[in-house]
């Protein structure tokens, strides 16, 4: 595909956000995390798209919406490779990558059913770390148990 | 440490741990000092634990403090659905310090964030029990004369035993060599081993305790519970291999001491009790001095 046509795919919305380089298998998770399944905005998405970096990737375009920092943190947990492109008047106005935060507050449930955050009205707080096999884990500030990546449930 | 809560043993630095142990030594020489006269300690046991509660309450009373509270949630407003936050805030009005035991993991950390008075965690679910850890450290230091460079052997359920987890983390300050004896199903969790690795210390894992007894300075026994095994046959197969009988101790070093957080079932045979290596009953008594040291220190009287 020519650079020109690629540019067109990215710019096809007049105003809004393009989330590119999402791992194909987590596109639907990203949609759910950001609540795009319930939004009134126009949303386009693609999966299994060709990618030089990853072999295969997903992309989501949301018309008329820009994201706050806290919402972007949520994406980073399942799509650390994602690129965010803000479009204003068909032009790319800002490009940024997402970063896995060192702390994850309020957005993820603790996997431990006996944790105080699952028993009373207490906001969750986690420290992010990587285990010996470089798997992402969330250490609960309260019960001190770990929630691994595959067990992450968003609030 | 004045006015600071103690929720997890990791809240204290090595120096702070040693300070509490030194203070506990003073209280062991003179446990009755009326230094907390006029102070009120609340003892909130949302689940029963008679041994721990009596140890705390006796410790407070020997220092002259008055004790208020409850020994189970059954007769309190908690039963009527009151939130932990409301209970803690209410009790804070009546007390200078709250000792709490609660069945939910993380409850003590949360309480320490909402309470205007300091909290001492006397056990939060399967998570932490820092005063047990301090009394274990005190017992080790008292019997060995030092905490440094010891060979410490843990036996039994190393996966679910919270006392083993806390003590392992605390011992990482003291250049311990860890010997971990357990069935394969109940090995020390990787999250705890991470602390040993981070401290660049050495551990070895075994399934049989006989070979490691002659190397050990401390043998820390724990109970293996039947419920921990998905397969009951597996439990039957391993249960007796982690029971200590007196005959196994003949090759033990002269300084070897046997610890156990109690209550024991059959993991230490009663024929060990009269062996001078048995230390588990004195170990429990040390809990009083450690708890006195903590309360005096947190309330600013030592
Ligand atoms: Zn938790």
Statement: residue A4 has pLDDT above 60: no
Cβ count near B191 (within 10 Å): 15
Instruction: Tell me: do A70 and A20 sit in the same domain.
Output: yes
Instruction: Tell me: do A52 and A107 sit in the same domain.
Output: no
Closest C-alpha among B288, B257, B300 to residue B24: B288
Can you tell me the mean pLDDT for A100-120? 92
Q: Which residue of A has its CA nearest to B85?
A: A120
CB B290 within 8 A of CB B296: no
Answer yes or no: is A25 within a domain.
yes
Q: Which residues of A touch B165 (CB under 8 A)?
A: none
Q: Using CB atoms, which residue from B8, B105, B126 is nearest to A116?
A: B105
Domains held by chain A: number: 2
Nearest-angstrom CA–CA distance, A26 and A58:
8
Closest C-alpha among B150, B166, B164 to residue B201: B150
Please give the pLDDT value at position A3: 56
Statement: residue A102 has pLDDT above 90: no
What's phi and psi for B54, nearest 5 deg? -65, -35
Instruction: Tell me: do A84 and A125 sit in the same domain.
Output: no
Flag if B110 and A119 touch (Cβ within 8 Å).
no
Please give the pLDDT value at position A9: 54
- Structure tokens that stand for B268 in this block: 């230490």
- Structure tokens that stand for B113 in this block: 């964030």
Answer yes or no: is A4 within a domain.
no
Cβ count near B259 (within 10 Å): 24
Instruction: Tell me: do A92 and A143 sit in the same domain.
Output: no
Cβ count near A17 (within 10 Å): 21
Please give the pLDDT value at position B18: 98
Nearest-angstrom CA–CA distance, B111 and B119:
7
Nearest-angstrom CA–CA distance, B250 and A108:
53
Answer yes or no: is A75 within a domain.
yes
Instruction: Tell me: do A107 and A93 sit in the same domain.
Output: no
Q: Which residue of A has its CA nearest to B8?
A: A144
Please give the pLDDT value at position A5: 57
Domain range for A29:
16-97
Closest C-alpha among B179, B166, B171, B181 to residue B140: B171
Pick the residue with more confidence: A49 or B67? Answer: B67
Q: Which residue has the tokens 């208020």?
A: B68
The last residue of one of the domains, among A97, A113, A139, is: A97
- Please indicate whether residue B101 is annotated as part of the active site: yes
Cα distances (angstroms) measured from residue B149 to each of B13, B98, B145, B178, B192: 18, 35, 11, 10, 19
Residue A31's contacts (CB-CB under 8 Å, 6 or more residues apart) are A37, A43, A45, A60
CB B179 within 8 A of CB B203: yes
Range B145-164 burial, b when 16+ CB lie within 10 A, else e: eebeebbbbbbbbbbbbbbb
CB A21 within 8 A of CB A54: yes
In this complex, is the C-beta atom of A102 within 8 Å of any C-beta atom belonging to chain B? no
- Please indicate whether residue B129 is annotated as part of the active site: yes
Answer yes or no: is A11 within a domain.
no
* Alpha helices (H) along B30-121: 50-62, 84-92, 107-114
pLDDT in tens, B76-122: 777 778 899 999 999 999 999 999 999 999 999 999 999 999 999 99
Please give the pLDDT value at position B74: 79
Instruction: Tell me: do A27 and A79 sit in the same domain.
Output: yes
Cα–ligand 1 centroid distance for A144 (angstroms): 6
In this complex, is the C-beta atom of A120 within 8 Å of any C-beta atom belonging to chain B? yes
As separate numbers, helices (DSSP H) first and strands (DSSP E) second, chain B gives 9, 9
- Structure tokens that stand for B27 in this block: 């209280």
Instruction: Tell me: do A86 and A111 sit in the same domain.
Output: no
Statement: residue A8 has pLDDT above 70: no
Pairing type for strands B40-45 and B66-70 reads: parallel
pLDDT in tens, A13-57: 899 999 999 999 899 989 988 989 999 999 999 888 888 877 889
Flag if B105 and A122 touch (Cβ within 8 Å).
no
pLDDT in tens, B15-44: 999 999 999 999 999 999 999 999 999 999
pLDDT in tens, B200-247: 999 999 999 999 999 999 999 999 888 888 788 888 888 888 999 999
- CATH number of the domain that A63 lies in? 3.30.70.140
**SS3 at position B288:** helix
Answer yes or no: is A3 within a domain.
no
Answer yes or no: is A6 within a domain.
no
Instruction: Tell me: do A92 and A51 sit in the same domain.
Output: yes
Please give the pLDDT value at position A22: 94
Flag if B104 and A116 touch (Cβ within 8 Å).
yes
Residue B153's contacts (CB-CB under 8 Å, 6 or more residues apart) are B179, B180, B181, B209, B212, B213, B215, B216, B218, B219, B220
Instruction: Tell me: do A76 and A112 sit in the same domain.
Output: no
The last residue of one of the domains, among A58, A81, A97, is: A97
Instruction: Tell me: do A62 and A123 sit in the same domain.
Output: no
What's phi and psi for A78, nearest 5 deg? -110, -15
Burial of A103 (0-12, 13-18, 19+ CB in 10 A): exposed
- Structure tokens that stand for B279 in this block: 């230390």
Q: Report CA torsion sign: A103, A108, A110, A116.
A: positive
- CATH number of the domain that A115 lies in? 2.30.30.20
- pTM of the prediction? 0.85
Cα distances (angstroms) measured from residue A77 to each of A67, A137, B91: 16, 10, 40
Answer yes or no: is A116 within a domain.
yes
Statement: residue B254 has pLDDT above 90: yes
Q: Report CA torsion sign: B268, B272, B278, B282.
A: positive
Closest-CA distance, B253 to chain A, in angstroms, reads 36
Q: Average per-residue pLDDT in chain B?
A: 94
Can you tell me the mean pLDDT for A86-90? 92
What's phi and psi for B280, nearest 5 deg? -65, -25
The last residue of one of the domains, among A82, A97, A112, is: A97
CB A116 within 8 A of CB B107: yes
Instruction: Tell me: do A21 and A69 sit in the same domain.
Output: yes
pLDDT in tens, B115-154: 999 999 999 998 999 999 999 999 999 999 999 999 999 9
Please give the pLDDT value at position B284: 92
Instruction: Tell me: do A21 and A90 sit in the same domain.
Output: yes
């Amino acid at each position: 595909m020519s650079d020109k046509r690629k540019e067109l795919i990215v710019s096809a919305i007049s105003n809004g956000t393009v989330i590119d380089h999402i791992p194909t298998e987590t596109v639907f998770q990203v949609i759910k995390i950001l609540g795009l399944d319930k939004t009134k905005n126009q949303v386009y998405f693609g999966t299994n798209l060709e990618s030089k970096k990853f072999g295969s990737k997903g992309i989501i375009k949301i018309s008329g919406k820009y994201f706050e920092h806290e919402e972007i943190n949520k994406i980073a947990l399942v799509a650390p490779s994602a690129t965010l492109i803000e479009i204003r008047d068909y032009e790319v106005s800002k490009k940024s990558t997402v970063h896995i935060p060192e702390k994850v507050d309020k957005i993820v449930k603790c996997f431990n059913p006996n944790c105080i955050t699952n028993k009373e009205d207490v906001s969750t707080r986690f420290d992010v770390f990587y285990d010996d096999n470089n798997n992402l884990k969330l250490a609960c500030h309260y019960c001190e148990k770990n929630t691994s990546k595959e067990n992450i449930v968003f609030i | 440490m004045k006015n600071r809560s103690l929720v997890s043993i990791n809240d204290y630095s090595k120096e702070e741990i040693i300070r509490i142990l030194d203070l506990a030594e003073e209280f062991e020489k003179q446990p009755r000092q009326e230094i907390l006269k006029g102070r009120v300690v609340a003892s909130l046991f949302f689940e029963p634990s008679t041994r721990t509660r009596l140890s705390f309450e006796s410790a407070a009373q020997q220092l002259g403090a008055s004790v208020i509270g409850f020994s189970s949630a059954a007769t309190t407003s908690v039963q009527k659905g009151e939130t932990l936050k409301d209970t803690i805030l209410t009790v804070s009005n009546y007390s200078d310090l709250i000792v709490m035991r609660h069945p939910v993991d993380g409850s003590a950390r949360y309480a320490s964030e909402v309470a205007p008075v300091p909290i001492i965690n006397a056990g939060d679910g399967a998570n932490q029990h820092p005063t047990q850890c301090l009394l274990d450290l005190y017992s080790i230091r008292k019997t060995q004369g030092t905490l440094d460079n010891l060979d410490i052997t843990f036996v039994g359920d190393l996966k679910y035993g919270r006392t083993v987890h806390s003590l392992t983390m605390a011992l990482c300050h003291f250049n311990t060599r860890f010997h971990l004896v357990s069935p394969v199903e109940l090995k020390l969790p990787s999250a705890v081993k991470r602390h040993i690795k981070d401290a660049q210390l050495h551990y070895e894992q075994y399934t049989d305790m006989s070979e490691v007894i002659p190397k050990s300075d401390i043998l820390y026994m724990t109970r293996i519970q039947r419920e921990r095994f998905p397969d009951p046959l597996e439990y039957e197969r391993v249960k007796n291999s982690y029971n200590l009988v007196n005959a196994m101790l003949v090759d033990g070093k002269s300084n070897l001491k046997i610890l156990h957080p109690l209550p024991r079932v059959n993991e230490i045979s009663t024929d060990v009790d009269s062996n001078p290596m048995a230390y588990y009953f004195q170990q429990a008594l040390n809990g009083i001095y450690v708890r006195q040291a903590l309360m005096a220190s947190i309330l600013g009287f030592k």
